[in-house]
Amino acid sequence: MPNMVDLIIKKRDGLSLSPQEMEQFVSAVTKDDIADYQTSAMLMAMFLQGLTPEETVVLTHAMTHSGAVMDLSAIPGKKADKHSTGGVADTTTLILAPLVASCGVPVFKMSGRGLGFSGGTLDKLESIPGFSTALSPEAAIALCKKSGLVVMGQTKDLTPADQKLYALRDVTGTVDSIPLIVSSIMSKKIAAGADTIVLDVKCGSGAFMKDLPSAQSLARQMVQIGRSLGRRVSAVLSSMAQPLGLLIGNALEVKEAIAVLKGETGGDLLEVSLELGSRMLLLTDAVSSVEEGKTLLRRQIETGAGLDQLERLITQQGGDAAVLKDPDRLPNAAASLEVRAAKSGYLCAMDTASIGHTSVLLGAGRVKKTDAIDPAAGIAMAVRLGDFVQEGQLLGTLYARNDGLCAQGAALFASAFTFSEEKQALPPLILDIIEEETK
Ligand code: URA
């Protein structure tokens, strides 16, 4: 057992840990051979001093192998996965996973639950009556082999080191460190077993990364780490200057995804889904250009192939696929409240985090991991950045289980909008693309 105090002091003083020392630290965390206060001290030292690229690779590798690593070799073909760093009305997985799988590329998706204002794919899918994401790895592999698409929850034995480190980071002010975020996300993605990973790094008022240089640095490091650990990875940097879709909340987001797959609606949500989905096709060599990928994905919407694939996913995981024909079978909220503009002007900024926090307050999200959520709660947005809004015009409708919750959310929601007299330039939706470096 190495002397953890020596390792903490070394990191505290700005020196690099050797690969062996980093592995010893992760092993001690995994086996509970180190006290939480020492792990916390090490995390703070890492947060303050940073990690070298070499240290980050070793940390990610050690975290990946701290528990089970999925072996997807029984599923033929190159497997695709994607990950979003989290946002509001960020429903792309429900759209692109069926679209990409319907092109013949197996999509093996291990997803998380929502926390804070970021939604989670598991909660969204579980708003479909009967849908279960609690699958064993064997069952998930068998389903993906048969249908080409599965969405499962993370198992407890996957990256146990990250589970412990993240829980301590959450309570010690050490979440916002790029190398710690990189190792946390990439260890889980690599342990989940897919050959290719497309990352959606969100940037803006409703994202972890508020500014472009930090988002670019995070994306670059994740792409490099993925590559050095044998995966093909690319990253799309997309804007969270406003909620991506129009519907926020679990059942509401399923409704919007169904409408997109039916070709009834599109907008920014479809654009980002096509950008990410086409890169999943490109990394798995199913197409030779992003444009070819987007054309193919659009065709899967027109022919209904994407919607058919979503139907297979819902049915195989015990859900009520009749929601596709009749989305009103999804949970509906008992109470609603329309929030209207107090003045006229061009909508020039949205505080997306406040809109996300409103949805949490309404019951759509969690403050703590153990909180229950209300699948029907959420918000239907009625405006986009750049719109001219008249005084009294609808900004959005809040949905919750009672009028009191709607009333509580209204002030926070209304405070999220900034108006100007002149129309202002809109931020681009796709801010940057970081591709894997070619050898
Ligand atoms: N999501 C993760 O899984 N880990 C982090 O560190 C931050 C976001």
Q: Is residue 184 in contact with ligand 1, taking CB distance under 6 Å?
A: yes
Q: Which residue minimizes the CA distance to atom 2 of ligand 1?
A: 185
- Band the pLDDT of 366: cuts 50, 70, 90: confident
> Using a 6 Å cutoff on CB, does residue 181 contact ligand 1?
yes
| Per-residue pLDDT at 106 | 98
Nearest-angstrom CA–CA distance, 293 and 96: 12
Give 4-50's CATH code, choosing from 3.40.50.150, 1.10.238.10, 1.20.970.10, 2.130.10.10: 1.20.970.10
Q: What is the pLDDT of residues 26-59, one digit of tens each?
A: 999 999 999 999 999 999 999 999 999 999 999 9
Is residue 169 part of the annotated active site? The answer reads yes
Instruction: Give the model's pLDDT for residue 297.
Output: 98
Task: Provide the pLDDT for residue 114.
Answer: 79
Phi-psi region of 148 (alpha: psi -120 to 50; beta: other; left: phi over 0): left
162 is catalytic: yes
Domain layout of the chain by residue ranges: 4-50, 80-325, 332-420
Judge whether residue 5 has pLDDT over 60.
yes
Is 184 assigned a catalytic role?
Answer: yes
| C-alpha 170 to ligand 1 mean position (Å) | 10
61 as an active site residue: the answer is: no
pLDDT tens figures, 106-128: 999 999 887 788 889 999 999 99
Architecture of domain 332-420: Alpha-Beta Complex (3.90)
Q: What is the pLDDT of residues 133-150, one digit of tens each?
A: 999 999 999 999 999 999
Q: What is the pLDDT of residues 376-424, one digit of tens each?
A: 999 999 999 999 999 999 999 999 999 999 999 999 999 999 999 999 9
pLDDT in tens, 254-303: 999 999 999 999 999 999 999 999 999 999 999 999 999 999 999 999 99
What is the mean predicted confidence (pLDDT) over 182-194?
96
How large is the average pLDDT for residues 248-255?
98
- The pTM (predicted TM-score) of the whole model is 0.95
pLDDT-derived band at 367, boundaries 50, 70, 90: confident
Give the model's pLDDT for residue 321: 98
Instruction: Give residue 250 CA to ligand 1 midpoint distance, Å.
Output: 21
CATH T-level assignment (fold) for domain 80-325: Pyrimidine Nucleoside Phosphorylase; Chain A, domain 2 (3.40.1030)
Q: Average pLDDT in the 230-242 region?
A: 97
Q: Return the pLDDT at 208.
A: 85
List all residues 6 or more positions away from 426 whose beta carbon is below 8 Å from its beta carbon.
Answer: 385, 386
Structure tokens that stand for 437 in this block: 């470096």
Q: What is the pLDDT of residue 437?
A: 61
Write down the catalytic residue from 169, 202, 279, 294. Answer: 169
Give the chain's mean pLDDT.
Answer: 96
